[in-house]
A and B are shown apart, each in its own frame.
Chain A
Amino acid sequence: MNEPSRAEPFEPKVVAYCCTYCAYTAADLAGSLRLEYAPNVRVVKILCSGKIDAVLLLRAFEDGADAVYVAGCAIGDCHFLEGNLRAIDTVAYAKKVLAEIGLEPERLEFFPIPASAGPLFAQRANEMTDRARELGPNPLRNTKGRDAGGKLAPEPDRHPPLPEARLGTLVRHADRLADCPGETSNGSST
């Protein structure tokens, strides 16, 4: 049998966790300046890049993202003083975990993006999209029973609910899949 014909070229799905004070502002600015950047990037607004936990980053990959980056304030300018420093450590740790699992750590990155740096925001978005394109699709995308689906952040301005400790509550993985928005269950690939 011949090589399967090349379907449409692979379009990566990239998630950008952007802090409210700098990176998201830069994203807004990029928009106002009508700068064009890869449409593959989905922006998730978080209060501070320091809020990022390794689990959040891993979940993004588990749910099929091809690349993830965390964008925070410039070093020394974090609105919460040291949040971006904490984010850098967390991203470094998550990269190690990715390597242990068998995913390329290059799929994850941290970028400091000052509020006024609209063009830098666009540049990083393109950079990570190209990187994801080069590395190829996340192998977890096409695993049976799981599909990243569409939007990962339904409304950028709606903050996700704060996590509560649910001691004594069983979390079934299957239920969590069902909860994910835009989910087409049972493995039909997009």
Chain B
Amino acid sequence: MIVAKRKPLEQIEAMLEGFERILIAGCGTCVAVCMAGGEKEVELLAAELRMKGKLEGKRRVIDEITITRQCDKEYLDQLAKYAGEYDVILSTACGAGVQFLAERYDDKLVLPALNTLFIGVAEGPGEWSQRCMACEECVLDQTGGICPMTMCAKNLLNGPCGGTNHGKCEVDGQKDCAWTLIYNKLKKLGRLDVLRKIQPPKDYSVMAKPGRFTHEAFEKAEDEEGK
């Protein structure tokens, strides 16, 4: 899922400078799972901002609402009855949600409370790590299920590099060398011949931003009548 973390309080305070009526809009999906922007985190952030504001003599009203998620129009519509009453909406969704909310309520200033980090997995309570960088051309079949684009600092497709150090990466001694992991995995699976293949350079044109994807089932059919 998308993993994000809350911006430091000073940064959020700086963004909210001068605003009196603030709505914190939470998201109940990915950011709730990674404990950055779900209902509980919104409660906590609202309490923090209120208390800090009062201690500093600021005039502020901070209300909270958490919707199921902010990347679907139907859920964003639920904010329609309230959005008008506030000067600014502080969204605790990932970057995609913040933008969608801003598009939907485009006469309102929408601020991001989180820094979106990566697509990742939960290794344990409170610990998430990246696994995917959405490179649009999955090569996990060639590497035994370990992603070289993400797990290798240099995103090599023919690794390892000369910096591999007893199974650890030269960049960070705590990180595993992805290609040593790939070698071990392919060896275990009896598929080392795959490792001997020279992988061609990655086609980055598939990653042109901003990306767009239409499901085949929703593509407009050829107009049969017109033939």
Contacts and interface: CB of A to CB of B under 8 A. Distances in A.
A adjacent to B, CB under 8 Å: yes
A26 B43 CA distance: 32
B39 A167 contact: yes
Contacts of B75: 168
Interface residues of B, number: 26
Contact of A103 (B51, B63, B67, B78): B51
Interface string B44-68: 1011101110111000011111111
Contact of A102 (B28, B43, B55, B67): B55
A98 to B, nearest CB: 8
Contacts of A171: 63-65
Given A101-B55, A171-B64, A172-B63, A165 B39 contact: yes
Contact of B66 (A54, A167, A173): A167
Interface string A151-173: 00000000000000111111111
A46 B152 CA distance: 47
Given A173-B50, A173-B63, A174-B61, A103 B55 contact: yes
Interface residues of A, number: 26
Nearest to A172: B63
A7 B43 CA distance: 36
Contacts of B213: none
Contact of B43 (A55, A140, A169): A55
A167 B38 CA distance: 10
A38 B39 CA distance: 36
A61 interface: yes
Interface string A51-85: 00111001101100000000000000000000000
Contacts of B68: 167-168
Interface string A82-106: 0000000000000001001111000
B50, B52, B54, B82 interface centre (most CB from chain A within 10 Å): B54
Contacts of A39: none
Interface of A: 53-55, 58-59, 61-62, 97, 100-103, 139-140, 143, 146, 165-174
Q: Please list the 7 inter-chain residue pairs (A to B) with the smallest Cβ-Cβ separation, ordered nearest first.
A: A143-B54, A58-B47, A170-B65, A101-B52, A102-B55, A55-B43, A55-B44
17 contacts: A53-B40, A55-B40, A58-B44, A58-B47, A58-B51, A62-B47, A62-B51, A97-B48, A101-B48, A101-B55, A102-B51, A102-B56, A140-B51, A168-B66, A170-B63, A170-B65, A173-B64
